[in-house]
Chains A and B, each alone.
Chain A
Amino acid sequence: MRSLRIAHRVILAVPVALGVAVLAFFSLHLLPGDPVQIMLGDTDASAATIRAVQHELHLDRPLHVQLALFFAQLARGDLGTSIVQRRPVAALIGDALPATIELTAAALVIAIVIAVPMGLAGALRPRSWFDRAVLSTSLLGASMPAFWFGLLLILFVAVDARLLPTSGQIDPTIAVPRVTGFVLIDGVLARNAAAVGSALRHLVLPALTLGVVVAAVLARTVRASMIEVLQRRYVTTARAKGLPETAVVVKHALRNALIPALTVIGLQIGELLGGNMIVETVFAWPGLGRLVVNSIFARDYLVVQAAVMLYAVTYVAANLAVDVAYTMLDPQVEAT
């Protein structure tokens, strides 16, 4: 029953991804601006040359033909070639994705480290001044405009105090052989302490900028569900049996209270992957978000289509993963 539902959801992801690609295709092609003209900038070129290039790139075909060409390519497992960068779209995304995943993972780690203790502490003494403080602080985090917070961090931490670098992913003079594409992991694999240190230092500010908002959402969820769980019958029973409070909280309550937190984390992964283009722009982070923004501005259609499809699949997958994890952690869900 459960596996049937999962299979159903997996199959459902395909039309969603394709539909999103179609949506991206039309919304991009409706935008004013032609990639060849944009690419040329102020280089002089004759109308004939421009027409020839547009023809070679199929940009002069009717929209439905271009769409059909895209799907034909897709059916062969080919995402096409970037108009601007002249490289296969798959390779471009493959290069940018690890940076984005690294940033997202770091942001989640920061969020969890901040949020879970905060939420638990608040839940153990509901309505206390500390609990109030937790709630207010988390609202502050949720209200933070990320781009502005990032700028402030750059100004005070990087520019004024010069504690951390302003932008980029690693000191460019450090060479790390590319194995996995994840700078941190590659640094560890190469046993290059300088590379790992530099990568970590570059990671702090953008990850903090992203992580604060997630932490805010997460802290509230952890607190709320912990309060609810602590009132459940089995917790009360455990308490009545005279188990020490720590054991009650850790053994019985925590596991169940973390389920909704897991939901939030899963859903935030989707949000983060799609939403960190501003943070990537502020910190010149060489990730997917910046690639997409630049590709929209350059009308590099195929890159945007592929990236949006990837976002859609991630989104569906994150939802699905949350659902599966849910049923595994909490058998009651299946029963209801």
Chain B
Amino acid sequence: MMPAGAQSVRAGPAPFLYPVRRHGVRALGSLRRVAARLAAEPVGAAAAAAVLAYVAGAVLAPVLAPDNPSATDLGARLAAPSAAHWFGTDLLGRDIFSRTLYGARVSLLVGALTVGLSALIGTALGMAGAYYRGAVDLVGARAVELLQAFPYLIFAVAMMAFLGPGFWNLIWALALKGWIEFYRLARGETLTQSHREYVEAARAMGYPSSWILVSEILPNILNTVTVVALLRLGYFMVLEASLSFLGVGIPPSIPAWGSMINDGRNVLFVAWWVSTIPGLALLVLVLAVNLLGDRVREILDPHASRR
């Protein structure tokens, strides 16, 4: 048996965080099992609770936020954290606590939409490439090679300069490269699966290939795709914040943690809270998402859990 990671080396680079096993995840795990297992261990439960809390905070931001996140008060600029403003105020006197709450929306939404879009595109193309082979596969493989060798950040900065600032533009800029990982994953998995007996049997029975792909193969690779999607979520959140930090991300009318961190950069010296607090919010969310992804992977992958 090869050590972890070996598989991905042969095919190219490993996912950003850590190598994900391609084998071992077969049946679609039931949510109940995952939830029960998560609840049973303190770390997993805490991570899940934290993510849920962020989602709740994001959804309920209009109710929870003490202030309008875009209400400016120039007289109260750069106020330190206090009873009136728990997290202080920013360069325009806006309440950072409220903005941090609303900022969770951007992070969660951009993360989820980017991962969703990437997974959708990548899985579809990867499965098609692996199953039909031929020209489709060849074109896909070449495109992947090129994009992969193209540094992500340069790609995103250029894309954003081209598309202009905007919420959806950002998501497209991220997803246009993000799909690669899912493509490679889905392609590899589909190749493995398509030689299994159940696929051979379906083929022998004369089912159309599109039906085989969607009804037979897809359910069998969905677990792996889901785990990778969870593990990539945090990465995209950080990337979104990095782009906002470089000034090519979310428009400032929407509170976003990356641009909040950037706002505070020039006043780090006199108002540490402006940059520090949204950064902390981001760190905790990404950590919770990564922990959750890690636990879910262990639960779904019996080999991983032994380790």
Contacts from A to B (Cβ < 8 Å): 16-17, 19-20, 23-24, 27-28, 30-33, 126, 132, 135-136, 139-140, 142-148, 151-152, 154-155, 159, 217, 220-221, 224-225, 227-229, 256-257, 259-260, 263-264, 267, 270-271, 273-275, 277-278, 281, 292-293, 296, 304, 308, 311-312, 315-316, 319, 322-323, 326, 332-333, 336
Contacts and interface: CB of A to CB of B under 8 A. Distances in A.
Given A225-B5, A259-B6, 14 more contacts: A19-B142, A24-B154, A28-B158, A32-B162, A143-B289, A145-B242, A148-B241, A148-B282, A148-B283, A151-B275, A260-B19, A319-B12, A323-B9, A332-B2
Contacts of A229: 3
Given A143-B283, A274-B152, A296-B157, A217 B2 contact: no
B286 A277 contact: no
A151 B279 CA distance: 10
A174 B140 CA distance: 52
Contacts of A259: 3, 6
B151 A274 contact: yes
Contacts of B234: 142-143
A332 B272 CA distance: 54
B100 interface: no
B2 A143 contact: no
A278 to B, nearest CB: 6
Contacts of B4: 221, 224-225, 228, 260
Given A144-B283, A259-B3, A260-B6, A217 B17 contact: yes
Nearest to A276: B153
A217 B12 contact: no
B245 A278 contact: yes
B149 interface: yes
Interface in B1-29: 1-6, 8-10, 12-14, 16-19
Interface string B243-277: 00110000000000000010001001100100110
A267 B246 CA distance: 25
A201 to B, nearest CB: 20
- B interface, by DSSP: helix, strand, loop or mixed? helix
Given A228-B307, A311-B151, A147 B287 contact: no
B193 interface: no
23 contacts: A19-B142, A24-B154, A27-B155, A132-B43, A143-B234, A145-B238, A145-B241, A146-B242, A148-B261, A152-B279, A220-B18, A225-B3, A225-B5, A260-B19, A263-B6, A263-B8, A273-B151, A292-B154, A311-B149, A311-B150, A312-B149, A323-B10, A336-B2
B214 interface: no
B65 to A, nearest CB: 22
A278 B5 CA distance: 28
B53 interface: no
Contacts of A278: 153, 242, 245-246
A58 B34 CA distance: 61
B287 A140 contact: yes
Contacts of B246: 278, 281, 293
A274 B268 contact: no
Contacts of A32: 161-162
A217 B10 CA distance: 19
Contacts of A33: 161
Interface in B99-116: none
A17 to B, nearest CB: 8
B154 A308 contact: yes
A264 B8 CA distance: 11
Contacts of A143: 234, 238, 283, 286-287, 289-290
Nearest to B42: A132
A336 B279 CA distance: 46
Contacts of B12: 319
Given A151-B275, A260-B4, A278-B246, A24 B150 contact: yes
